[in-house]
Homo-oligomer: A and B are copies of this chain.
């Protein structure tokens, strides 16, 4: 496959913000044509001469392209800095790692907070509803642009796992290995319900102004914070919440008989909610949650999930976490069964963890070891160099 756009210089450690504006409009799954489309992305490591060592990382609902190193906005470590970097599991000394802010996002890629050139105003609710497939087709253009025909690996957790499945399903010839982590082939009724609560919380905020808050100089902070709080509970396990907070009080000796945050868990949730609004756009939250709700790889294949994988050459590794109740192991197992039904190359590990869905973002040794094993083994088959001796972990 010829690159649509000539390759640009390959970047090393993330020190600059990269942008690609597609030459052609994007025809979305809805049929709507979107133009112009810009993807904000980061790369880590270098593409090898064979262009065979590219790892595409797909981020989750509120993630972004700053996978490793220091996040330029928050000043914190990238969301997968535990995994991605020199000598790490996704070793940037060996792999050329790419991550793009998803279409519809709010970290530089085209999304509802960006300006619609046709009106000179932020897109707001005039932005078309996008899908996981649309995110992936935009990423495919970026991969073209980078001069990569075939990805060594596509990897991601949660919504990232949906993109991984979409990649492997739509572009099996361009994916050597696929690692969907803590994901599903379709969003469950319960998950749609939680997303709907979040959306309703945002839209209930008068500051949302029917989606026009940017034009009106307003911010639906409270609605977005409530949405984040509700979602955040689903990212943790009951056990994790109990261990972290239990019924411990926050900076006080006794109950205050009021509505302040008496309990640590309340204080923590409020903090999660109110720091989130500083880094995320409310309309993006609507669009991205909608994209997840719409994802259903079985439905797209006449209700038979295995049809999505017939004849796939992709090597799969699925990983779930035992205490994840948002994307429970059963969801991954359904994918594994479908892959087995078409004799695909698949390995599957349910990692024992009490940290809930969030475990895919955390330093979970069994998870990291599983991933290390799969990546090293698959790299060898792909003819990529092995890990340097003494490298972590």
Contact = CB atoms under 8 A, between A and B. Distances in A.
Nearest to A194: B233
Contacts of A226: 197, 200-201, 204, 226
B247 A296 contact: yes
Nearest to A221: B204
Contacts of A188: 238, 241-242, 247
A141 interface: no
Interface in A173-212: 186-190, 192-194, 196-197, 199-201, 203-206
Nearest to A274: B200
14 contacts: A30-B257, A129-B258, A187-B247, A189-B247, A189-B263, A190-B236, A192-B265, A193-B265, A196-B263, A196-B265, A197-B230, A204-B222, A206-B206, A226-B226
A290 interface: yes
Contacts of A201: 201, 204, 226
Interface residues of A, number: 57
A266 B190 CA distance: 10
A372 B204 CA distance: 45
Contacts of A223: 204
Interface in A107-129: 125, 128-129
Given A204-B225, A257-B129, A296-B247, A190 B241 contact: yes
A209 to B, nearest CB: 13
Most interface-central of A200, A223, A296, A325 (chain B CB within 10 A) = A200
Interface of A: 30, 32, 125, 128-129, 186-190, 192-194, 196-197, 199-201, 203-206, 222-223, 225-226, 229-230, 233, 236, 238, 241-242, 244-247, 255, 257-259, 261-263, 265-266, 269-270, 273, 286, 290, 293-294, 296, 299, 325, 328
A294 B255 contact: yes
A264 to B, nearest CB: 8
Contacts of A259: 125, 129, 199, 203, 286, 290
Contacts of A199: 259
Q: Which 3 A-B residue pairs are closest in the complex by CB-CB distance?
A: A204-B222, A129-B257, A30-B257
Contact of A229 (B197, B205, B236, B258): B197
Nearest to A261: B196
Contacts of A244: 189
Nearest to A229: B197
Contacts of A32: 257
A255 B29 CA distance: 11
A269 B196 contact: yes
A190 B199 CA distance: 21
Contact of A197 (B193, B205, B263, B269): B269
Nearest to A228: B197
Nearest to A244: B189
A223 B197 CA distance: 11
B197 A246 contact: no
Contacts of A230: 197, 230
Most interface-central of A32, A193, A236, A242 (chain B CB within 10 A) = A193
Contacts of A129: 257-259
A192 B229 CA distance: 12
A204 B293 CA distance: 26
Contacts of A222: 200, 204
Contacts of A229: 193, 196-197, 200
Contact of A266 (B30, B196, B245, B261): B196
Contacts of A257: 30, 32, 128-129
Given A200-B226, A200-B269, A204-B225, 13 more contacts: A30-B257, A129-B258, A186-B247, A189-B242, A192-B263, A193-B229, A193-B233, A201-B226, A203-B259, A204-B223, A226-B226, A238-B328, A259-B290
